[in-house]
Structure 1
Amino acid sequence: MRAGRAWPRWPQPAPGADAALLEVLHSGRWSIASPYGGVATYEQRFAGDFAAYLGVGHCVPTASGTAALMTALEACGVGAGDEVIVPALSWAASASTVVGVNAVPVFADVDPRTLCLDPAAVEAAITPATRAVVVVHLYSAVADLTALRAVADRHGLALIEDSAQAHGATYKGLKVGTLGDVGTFSMHHTKVLTSGEGGAAVTDDPALARRIEHLRADGRCRAARPPLPGAPELVETGELMGSNRCLSEFQSALLIAQLKTLDAQNSTRRANAVLLDRLLAEQDLCPQDTSPGTTRRTYFGYAVELPEEVRDGAASAAVAQALTAELGLHVRPVYQPLFTSRLYAPSSRRRFDIGPGHLDRLDPGRWSLPVSERAAGSFLTFHHAALLGEEEDMHDIAEAFRRVLARRAELTG
């Protein structure tokens, strides 16, 4: 068992984060709905900083990545009864957000090496009811955006990039989140850019940005010109009904500070991941791949495929448990396919029973997708904080894999 050194903690407050929070605390403005104080909100400033970082025209901060996805779907015209193609291997929000706008998630299989949405599977899943495709850049991989964009354009579908696990990754030199009609991000506690909770939707389309702005602020948007101090800055336009999914001023100020450290932290993770790739490849293990167009990876999670003899749910879980004990680092299987996930259960909530046959269309029992099912039993992953450690830590991880897999017969017998 590894002893004597702790793993890096996460989150790590950036220089200036504490001062930024104190500044908000004494500003008299904790929400974008607070009376105008004569200066731009922290939320507005973060939106500008993040848009500039990504190289995109518009950023609308939201209360969570879930809120960003739901507003993106609705802004793109998705509604009751529409079908939205999503990857079968992903976090629950990939499906629950679609159900949340009264649409139907259609699960498509993933590429066996990148674990991201397979363009051929998307093409095969399209029906006359399909309105959009949501692609997730999973763990450390970027999906095949060239092929997915071509499929979406060929069929007149909106392409939404869920980049919650890929802040700073690039595809053909462009930041991910900027190649779809809308890109969405999560700033949850676990993410590489975090404010505890939070999110953002980004787009180059001003009409989509305006719709998202209304959808996340109870149907209000920022006035074209600043009002007099003390007056509301958000105006009631009557254009579109929305809900309150706004980011607080505390979170926005924190994100302004955290964004300044993102690239340096991503660079450290990337260098350590390259080393770990080499060390595990020497044991004939296969780290997660990425699509050919990827020009820079971001590591939300490091994922690696196990040897064939331990590629099933029980065996991989036993190996993960043993690795966790060896390292004092939480190692776990990758996500379960959404149609087998306990977190995807639309029938558990009456609000989703919107009409005859609708719950039948949402039934997870309809699905069986072999690549996603096989991947769930084949890959293990651990959180990106470990990649902020030293080279010695990467050797510890590789040695733990060697020790645990040397006794795999005992673990799985």
Structure 2
Amino acid sequence: MVSPLAVKGGEALRTRPWPAWPQPAPGVPAAVAEVLGSGRWSISGPYRGTDSHERRFARAFADYHGVPYCVPAASGTAGLMLALEACGVGAGDEVIVPGLSWVASGSTVLGVNAVPVFCDVDPDTLCVSPEAVEALITERTRAVVVVHLYSAVADMDGLTRVAERHGLPLVEDCAQAHGASYRGVKVGALATAGTFSMQHSKVLTSGEGGAVITRDADLARRVEHLRADGRCLSDGPPAPGAMELVETGELMGSNRCLSEFQAAILTEQLTLLDEQNRTRRANAARLDGLLGELGLRPQATSEGTTSRTYYTYAARLPEGALEDVPLTDVTGALTAELGFPVQPCYAPIPANRLYVPQTRRRYTLGPDHEARIDPKRFALPVCEDTARRTVTLHHAALLGDAEDMADIAAAFAKVLRHGADLAT
């Protein structure tokens, strides 16, 4: 007799623990202890005669991506806002962003008083396509943001051509793609600027944090000023005890700096990133085969992708299966079988309960602006269809082994087999 679904009182398919996340690198405790006793916990603290951990991480992260400049920031959200402002985006400008993404893809644009224009996505990669972006460009468009979503890399050849044809800065949001590459170049280094999040769930994390990378010296300097109250780091070391941040008066900013503790952790975590990404890729390939046999359609990536990063494993349910069952019931049943969270994919941002510009008085800039930022004006059929049929697993599951991948596939098979039970 086949056991009923765990959510219907049956026995769960799995009770063994899953890999934990985050997994601290061996050097993290010593690095944090060094900061603790250093007398300098932030870049705005007094210079102590040695490079700050923030400078060390910035060098390491820039070198990792093959670019000359990296400016760490307090969060991925901060990094996106810094990059947009550094590119000249401001009040009333339009910024084209994916309609399927974390809510910050829209709220960061609002945060610089600009207008997010939500773009539908490619049904296979779930990233914006060059054709869809170009169709939305108007005389008010000031920038395009591309998100490398879940495990896919967007079509950067086509997007770069569109941006160059219209003279627009192209910003890569790589919050979910640390270490991925396109035609041999790491993402973030392919456009005007690349932004990253180091929030708790990310494949490179210090709990919170972010960064902006670029090949453009002037843009990097603007980002530096914007994230440190209008100050930038001195060219050479100051006297011990003096401030390393110089008050240039070039550009007013705000405090969006990374702490020394976070920078120290990130420098150590970066040493594990490639190895962990290899493990995730190998397990994702196993899962592609196992779930493909069940009729699921794993997320694809663009043709130019040379290396994927799996922040989230995403797959579309088989056509004709579980169509009368709410996706949250499907993911709830999978979670109960595995003891590991399986989630629906993101809701389209205009329909996301977290995206409600009217709840913030700062965006009440007049009837015209309020009409332009009204989420109801966007129709995103591919995003909406994807959200109804796509399930996701966090990358921690991919740090397991072949037996773990078999358990995931077995849970999907069990839920698909008992679909009628979920419909009642």
TM-score (norm 1): 0.99
Residue 79 of structure 1 corresponds to: 90
Deviation of residue 314 (structure 1)? Answer: 5.0
Mapped to 2, the partners of 1:3 and 1:342 lie a distance apart of 32
CA deviations 1:253-308 (Å, max 9, x no partner) are 00011000000000000000000101111112110000000000000000000022
Mapped to 2, the partners of 1:41 and 1:311 lie a distance apart of 54
The answer as to whether partners of 1:312 and 1:374 remain within 8 angstroms in 2 is no
CA deviations 1:151-209 (Å, max 9, x no partner) are 11111111000000000000000000100100000000000000000000000000000
Residue identity opposite 2:163 in structure 1: A
CA deviations 1:92-112 (Å, max 9, x no partner) are 100000000000000010000
1:37-186 map, 5 Å: 37-186=48-197
Moved more, 82-91 or 308-317: 308-317
The answer as to whether partners of 2:15 and 2:339 remain within 8 angstroms in 1 is no
The answer as to whether partners of 1:287 and 1:303 remain within 8 angstroms in 2 is yes
Residue identity opposite 2:130 in structure 1: P
Mapped to 1, the partners of 2:358 and 2:295 lie a distance apart of 43
Residue 273 of structure 1 corresponds to: 284
Mapped to 1, the partners of 2:220 and 2:37 lie a distance apart of 31
Mapped to 2, the partners of 1:62 and 1:313 lie a distance apart of 44
> Which of 360, 364, 373 does residue 349 from structure 1 map onto?
360
Mapped to 1, the partners of 2:366 and 2:82 lie a distance apart of 23
Deviation of residue 315 (structure 1)? Answer: 2.6
Residue identity opposite 2:48 in structure 1: G
Residue 294 of structure 2 corresponds to: 283
- Structure 1 136/313 Cα, relative in aligned 2: closer, same or farther at 3 Å? farther
- Structure 1 4/380 Cα, relative in aligned 2: closer, same or farther at 3 Å? closer
Residue 339 of structure 2 corresponds to: 328
Deviation of residue 119 (structure 1)? Answer: 1.4
Mapped to 2, the partners of 1:106 and 1:67 lie a distance apart of 20
- Structure 1 207/306 Cα, relative in aligned 2: closer, same or farther at 3 Å? same
Residue 330 of structure 2 corresponds to: 319
- Structure 1 276/212 Cα, relative in aligned 2: closer, same or farther at 3 Å? same
The answer as to whether partners of 1:311 and 1:378 remain within 8 angstroms in 2 is no
The answer as to whether partners of 2:324 and 2:423 remain within 8 angstroms in 1 is no
- Structure 1 191/313 Cα, relative in aligned 2: closer, same or farther at 3 Å? farther
Residue 311 of structure 2 corresponds to: 300
Deviation of residue 361 (structure 1)? Answer: 0.6
Moved more, 355-364 or 337-346: 355-364
The answer as to whether partners of 2:146 and 2:172 remain within 8 angstroms in 1 is yes
Mapped to 2, the partners of 1:342 and 1:159 lie a distance apart of 28
The answer as to whether partners of 1:339 and 1:364 remain within 8 angstroms in 2 is yes
The answer as to whether partners of 1:332 and 1:381 remain within 8 angstroms in 2 is yes
> Which of 227, 230, 234 does residue 223 from structure 1 map onto?
234
Mapped to 2, the partners of 1:263 and 1:149 lie a distance apart of 26
Residue identity opposite 1:315 in structure 2: P
Residue 372 of structure 1 corresponds to: 383
Do residues 34 (structure 1) and 40 (structure 2) align? no
Mapped to 2, the partners of 1:387 and 1:2 lie a distance apart of 18
The answer as to whether partners of 1:340 and 1:364 remain within 8 angstroms in 2 is yes
SS of alignment partner, residue 153 of structure 1: helix
Moved more, 310-319 or 56-65: 310-319
The answer as to whether partners of 1:59 and 1:209 remain within 8 angstroms in 2 is yes
CA deviations 1:331-383 (Å, max 9, x no partner) are 01100000100111111011111234111111001011100100001110010
TM-score (norm 2): 0.96
Residue 28 of structure 2 corresponds to: 17
The answer as to whether partners of 1:310 and 1:378 remain within 8 angstroms in 2 is no
SS of alignment partner, residue 72 of structure 2: strand
Unaligned segments of structure 1, at least 5 residues: none
Residue 405 of structure 1 corresponds to: 416
Mapped to 2, the partners of 1:242 and 1:123 lie a distance apart of 32
Residue identity opposite 1:195 in structure 2: S
- Structure 1 404/293 Cα, relative in aligned 2: closer, same or farther at 3 Å? same
Mapped to 2, the partners of 1:214 and 1:313 lie a distance apart of 53
Mapped to 2, the partners of 1:313 and 1:137 lie a distance apart of 31
The answer as to whether partners of 1:32 and 1:249 remain within 8 angstroms in 2 is yes
